[in-house]
Amino acid sequence: MLGPGAHEMIGPEALKLGFKKVLVMTTGLRGSGTVHKIVESMKYHGLEVVLYDQVESNPKDYNVMDSVTMYQENGCDSFVSIGGGSAHDACKGARISVAHDGRNVNDFEGFNKSENPKNPPHIAVSTTAGTGSETSWAYVITDTTTDPDQPHKYVAFDDACVATLAIDDPVLYFDCPLDYTAQCGFDVLAHASEPYVSRLNFETSLGNALHAIKLTAENLREATWNGQDLTGREGMMYAQYIAAQAFNSGGLGIIHSISHAISAFYDHAPRPQQRDRAAAGVGVQHAGGLQAVRRHRRGDGCGHPRYDRRAGRRRGARRRDPVAPRRDHHREVHRRPPGQLLEEPARQGADEVLRERQGDQG
């Protein structure tokens, strides 16, 4: 169920699916009021609600098992997850565990390891345009117990984990912070670009992948700089959903493999992880590429004549790239009135830049 206002149908749709006592799983989304509004709406429609709001980023196996215990102790019969990929993935893992009498979720790492295809119904309500987990057949969990000194983040693929109903409402994205909106947008771009260049070369995923890239290019900037803009938010809603459809069949690549390995250890450093993903997504995939990006971020230089700031100073080449946006524009973003979209600074076209550089060389 996609579109503005879709979240208002959670209660009625839950009743249609036979929900009576629901375990709501979320990271808390503290300060937004989103969880409170949805829970109260569900209660208004006659549903009993038990809240588990301790899901962590890169959800841990103990998050899953704690929620399973709460589900069983309270006699729940259904799930609702509210948030992004962390909440949805933890909920998928909990459903699989419940269907197997509370077995450890780590037992199901791999492909279709569950033996009981019947598990509790699940409504996944997204509050970010990023992971697409509400429509995928996989969930990602960090195993912290098998070897506490060597945690690892794994992907479990299981036909039985797909959400019963996905609800994507761009209105719920309005509270998403600026930087997080941008980071989620790069996740969408990775989800779309990786299946497009995947070695699987699955034809039916290619159209979705390209369209998701197109939607991201058209809407991410607007959704980021003006978070209250419905057009941008709705465009990114469709982009993330379609990108997930692409990787469901086309697969993902090394960008995700690397980020999973890193985030198992550096759990609270999402921004560098997203930057590394972005760097890999635009072609920094050669040996040592990620280290070069980190050196550049520290100001140490990356060894490339165009991007190495130190090299530029040694040569005395201080002229700003005419294609790059003005830095003062980004400072002004944080001083804009709420709801006001700053116009992006004018950029020279590619032909103008080429003529200017040819003139300099002449």
CATH number at residue 228: 1.20.1090.10
In this prediction, residue 261 carries a pLDDT of 77
In the chain, DSSP finds a helix count (H) and a strand count (E) of: 13, 8
In a domain, 262, yes or no: yes
In this prediction, residue 336 carries a pLDDT of 44
- Residue 49 β-bridge partners: 22
Same-domain pairing of 163 and 244: no
Contact 333, 225 (CB under 8 A): yes
Same-domain pairing of 44 and 107: yes
Same-domain pairing of 16 and 147: yes
What separation in angstroms does the CA of 115 have from each of 37, 99, 107, 111, 205? 36, 9, 11, 11, 28
Last residue of a domain, one of 277, 307, 339: 277
Angle at 27 between CA 23 and CA 33, to 5 degrees: 90
Token pair 């959903």 in the structure block, residue: 241
- Model pTM? 0.74
In a domain, 326, yes or no: no
Q: How would you class 164 by CB atoms within 10 Å of its CB: exposed for 0-12, middle for 13-18, buried for 19 or more? A: middle
Contact 139, 155 (CB under 8 A): yes
In a domain, 317, yes or no: no
In a domain, 249, yes or no: yes
Contact 324, 313 (CB under 8 A): no
Phi, psi of 189 (to 5 degrees): -60, -40
Q: Report the distance separating Cα 104 and Cα 106, nearest Å.
A: 5
21: which residues sit within 8 A by CB, 6+ positions away?
47, 48, 49, 50, 74, 75, 76, 77, 78
Contact 241, 168 (CB under 8 A): yes
Tally of structural domains, the chain: 2
In this prediction, residue 149 carries a pLDDT of 87
Q: Residue 68: which domain range?
A: 6-173
Same-domain pairing of 148 and 257: no
Same-domain pairing of 32 and 135: yes
What separation in angstroms does the CA of 248 have from each of 159, 208, 245, 361? 11, 11, 5, 49
In a domain, 40, yes or no: yes
Q: Residue 82's closest CA among 152, 153, 175?
A: 175
Same-domain pairing of 58 and 117: yes
Same-domain pairing of 222 and 251: yes
Token pair 């039916």 in the structure block, residue: 204
> Token pair for residue 27?
């990271």
Q: Residue 68's closest CA among 39, 42, 124, 106?
A: 106
Last residue of a domain, one of 261, 277, 293: 277
In a domain, 20, yes or no: yes
Same-domain pairing of 72 and 20: yes
Token pair 């072609």 in the structure block, residue: 283
In this prediction, residue 297 carries a pLDDT of 44
CATH number, residue 36: 3.40.50.1970
Contact 154, 198 (CB under 8 A): no
| Residue ranges in the chain modelled with pLDDT below 50 | 269-297, 299-350, 353-354
Token pair 């465009």 in the structure block, residue: 235
Contact 63, 124 (CB under 8 A): no
In this prediction, residue 271 carries a pLDDT of 38
What separation in angstroms does the CA of 18 have from each of 13, 42, 76? 9, 13, 12
In a domain, 75, yes or no: yes
In this prediction, residue 268 carries a pLDDT of 58
Same-domain pairing of 81 and 146: yes
In this prediction, residue 202 carries a pLDDT of 80
Token pair 């699955």 in the structure block, residue: 202
> Token pair for residue 63?
């998050």
In this prediction, residue 343 carries a pLDDT of 44
> Token pair for residue 273?
């992880």
Sign, Cα dihedral of 77, 163, 107, 52:
negative
Same-domain pairing of 19 and 155: yes
Last residue of a domain, one of 173, 206, 235: 173
In this prediction, residue 154 carries a pLDDT of 92
> Token pair for residue 297?
């971020």
In this prediction, residue 250 carries a pLDDT of 84
- Residue 142 β-bridge partners: 60, 153
In this prediction, residue 264 carries a pLDDT of 74
Q: Which residues of 64-188 form beta strands (DSSP E)?
A: 78-83, 110-111, 122-126, 138-143, 152-157, 165-168
Same-domain pairing of 58 and 144: yes
Contact 166, 134 (CB under 8 A): yes
> Token pair for residue 247?
């990787």
Q: Report the distance separating Cα 180 and Cα 238, nearest Å.
A: 18
Q: Report the distance separating Cα 243 and Cα 187, nearest Å.
A: 10
In a domain, 308, yes or no: no
Same-domain pairing of 253 and 153: no
